[in-house]
Structure 1
Amino acid sequence: MEGNELVAASRQFSAENRARSTWYVLSTFALLAAACAVAATAPWLPVRIAASVLQGLLIVRAFILSHDFQHGALLRRSKWGKALFTVYGLLVLTPPRAWRQTHNYHHANTAKIVGAQIGSYPVMTVEMWRRAPKGRRWMYAAARHPLNILFGYLTIFLFGMCLSSFVRKPKENYDSLIALLLHVGLVGGLTWFFGFDVAFFALVLPLIIACSFGAYLFYAQHNFPDIHIEPRQTWTFHRAALESSSYMRCGPVMSYFTGDIGLHHVHHLNASIPFYRLREAMAAIPALQVPPATSLHPRDIVACLKLKVWDPVAQRMVPFPEEPSPSA
């Protein structure tokens, strides 16, 4: 089973259970609010730090729910859902308009040698890297550097999703400016009225954790040892889903916080499947049961982060090639 037949087989899992969707959304945001309250008010530093970490992980889960809503997989045509996730997107530096534009493009172009960089990490071949001028090499290396992921709060979200997207298309991405100003206003307001510790533990630290973790999840979903990348001329949607989107093995705790987005190959095959039905779809369709896999084990994280350019001869992602030694 492949191609259109495979996509057709997945459609039965697109049906959402409205009560189940509502429960997941309300329970997640209730936990998120509780963690934020503890992080802001707890009298003991270790408790505040733990609550901030928990809040950061819950921000990731809530983002997956928001992401599913944007795909029409969760709370379809819900007015209160739209209001909730619009406000949420602004608060967590993922303005809905900019996110929707780049992410929809990503789904339609992931794993193409040329054209996959919008809404994703850029991809060069070994030869493209060798021919690129120094400035372009620097920008490419910076985008794929672990520090860009670690400090994603500043580089990917504050700068990329908010400031850069607004400067690029101010009329289309006006909500990017709203998100940026709202964030600065919240940090300043919380600091002024309650002290910097409240702003840090209840807002800044959770976002640092969430943005860093989210940036790595997105990286590893399309930058892993067994990924397959194709030229635009031979690229196909179903192959990009099955061979260019990873299955991230997670235990039950991390599966909860990541909203099972680790079953990324299933999601890319059919983005209208609610997150809570991804495992059901994978179990029912044999073609989805042998995906290229990774995990959050440090060994696998290091292996993913080492991958920099596509080698079309070896048909795999490899580290940056060594520069040829100057002739004597």
Structure 2
Amino acid sequence: MQGNELVAVTRPFASEDRARSVYHVASTFAVLALATAVAAVAPYKPLRIFGSVIEGLVIVRAFILAHDFQHGALLRKSKVGSVIFGLYGALVLTPPRVWRQTHNYHHAHTAKIVGAQIGSYPVMTVEMWKRAPRGKRIAYALARHPLTILFGYVTIFLGGMCISAFLRNPKENWDSAAALVLHAALVTTITYFFGWEMTLLVLVGPLFIACALGSYLFYAQHNFPGVHMQPRQTWTFARAAVESSSFMRCGPIMSYFTGDIGYHHVHHLNAAIPFYRLREAMAAIPELQVEPQTSLSPRDILHCFSLKLWDPQAGKMVPYPKDAPPAEVAEPA
């Protein structure tokens, strides 16, 4: 089973259970509020730091819910949902307009050797890398560098989703500027009234954690051992979903915080499936029961980071060639 037929068998799982959706939204934001309160007012600093870390992780889960809403998989056509997730997107530096533009393009072009970089990380072949001028190599290496992902709060979200998006198209991406202004106002206000420690624990620290994890998830979902890239001429949607989107095995705790987005190949095959039905769909469809391709273990993270270029001859992602290093951009030891 492949192609349109494979997409068709996923459609029964794109049925939303409204009560279940409301429960997940309400419970997630309740946990987020509780974690924020612990980070803000707990009597012991270690407990406040713990609350801050949990807040950052729950921000990721809530983002997955917002992401599902944008796809029409959660609280479909809900005006209340639109208000909740629109405001949430602004608060976590993911304005709905630019996210919708880039993410929808990403779903329609995943794993194309040319053009896949919108809404994702750029991909060069080994030959493209060898022919690229020094400046282009540096830009490519920086875009995929682990430090760029670690500091995604600044590089990808503040810089890419807000500043760059607004400068690129101010009229279309006005909410990127609004998110930036809102964020600056929150940082200034909290710091003025409660001090920098409060700002770090309840806002900047959790966002740093959430943006770093989110940036890595974006990376590993399409840059993992076994990924298959396709030229435009032979690209197909179903193959890109199943063979070019990772299945990331997570334990129950990280499955909760990541909203089961580890079943990314299922999500790419049918983005209308609510996050809480992704594993059900995988279990029911043999073609989706792929071997675990990556995880959040340190070993798998380092392995994914080592993959830089697509080698058409080998049919896999490979590191930079030793005879053509990434132009003075250091890699982790």
Query: What CA distance in whole angstroms lies between the structure 1 residues aligned with 2:133 and 2:172?
Result: 32
1:190 matched to 2:190? The reply is yes
SS of residue in 2 equivalent to 1:104: helix
Q: Deviations over 1:285-316 (max 9, x none)?
A: 11000256100111100000000000011010
Superposed, 1:30-69 pairs within 5 Å as: 30-69=30-69
1:308 matched to 2:319? The reply is no
Q: Deviations over 1:31-57 (max 9, x none)?
A: 101111111112211111100100000
CA contact (8 A) 1:243 1:291 kept: no
CA contact (8 A) 1:41 1:198 kept: no
Superposed, 1:35-114 pairs within 5 Å as: 35-114=35-114
AA partner of residue 124 (structure 2) = M
1:173 matched to 2:183? The reply is no
CA contact (8 A) 1:247 1:262 kept: yes
Cα offset for 1:125?
Answer: 0.3
Q: Deviations over 1:194-239 (max 9, x none)?
A: 1111111000000000000010011000000100001000000000
SS of residue in 2 equivalent to 1:121: coil
Superposed, 1:1-328 pairs within 5 Å as: 1-291=1-291, 293-323=293-323
Q: Unaligned regions of 5+ residues in structure 1, if any?
A: none
Query: What CA distance in whole angstroms lies between the structure 2 residues aligned with 1:175 and 1:43?
Result: 37
Query: What CA distance in whole angstroms lies between the structure 1 residues aligned with 2:283 and 2:8?
Result: 16
CA contact (8 A) 1:152 1:215 kept: yes
**1:172–1:291 Cα change, 3 Å:** farther
Query: What CA distance in whole angstroms lies between the structure 1 residues aligned with 2:45 and 2:150?
Result: 23
**Farther-moved stretch of structure 1 (266-275 vs 30-39):** 30-39
**1:308–1:324 Cα change, 3 Å:** closer
CA contact (8 A) 2:220 2:304 kept: yes
CA contact (8 A) 1:32 1:55 kept: yes
Q: Deviations over 1:242-266 (max 9, x none)?
A: 1000000001111011000000000
SS of residue in 2 equivalent to 1:114: coil
**1:171–1:324 Cα change, 3 Å:** closer
SS of residue in 2 equivalent to 1:119: coil
Query: What CA distance in whole angstroms lies between the structure 2 residues aligned with 1:324 and 1:91?
Result: 41
CA contact (8 A) 1:243 1:292 kept: no
CA contact (8 A) 2:249 2:292 kept: no
**1:169–1:324 Cα change, 3 Å:** closer
CA contact (8 A) 1:152 1:212 kept: yes
Query: What CA distance in whole angstroms lies between the structure 1 residues aligned with 2:38 and 2:189?
Result: 19
SS of residue in 2 equivalent to 1:222: coil
AA partner of residue 316 (structure 1) = K
SS of residue in 1 equivalent to 2:198: helix
Query: What CA distance in whole angstroms lies between the structure 2 residues aligned with 1:30 and 1:292?
Result: 32
Query: What CA distance in whole angstroms lies between the structure 2 residues aligned with 1:318 and 1:48?
Result: 42
AA partner of residue 236 (structure 2) = T
Q: Unaligned regions of 5+ residues in structure 2, if any?
A: 326-333
Q: Which runs of 4+ in 1 moved over 2 A?
A: none
Query: What CA distance in whole angstroms lies between the structure 1 residues aligned with 2:294 and 2:134?
Result: 32
SS of residue in 2 equivalent to 1:122: coil
Query: What CA distance in whole angstroms lies between the structure 1 residues aligned with 2:324 and 2:27?
Result: 57
AA partner of residue 48 (structure 1) = R
CA contact (8 A) 1:121 1:143 kept: yes
**1:324–1:60 Cα change, 3 Å:** closer
Query: What CA distance in whole angstroms lies between the structure 1 residues aligned with 2:200 and 2:188?
Result: 11
Query: What CA distance in whole angstroms lies between the structure 2 residues aligned with 1:218 and 1:144?
Result: 11
Normalized against structure 1, the TM-score is what?
Answer: 0.98
State the number of aligned residues.
325
Cα offset for 1:18?
Answer: 0.2
Query: What CA distance in whole angstroms lies between the structure 1 residues aligned with 2:281 and 2:315?
Result: 29
- 2:328 paired residue number: none
Query: What CA distance in whole angstroms lies between the structure 2 residues aligned with 1:97 and 1:228?
Result: 30
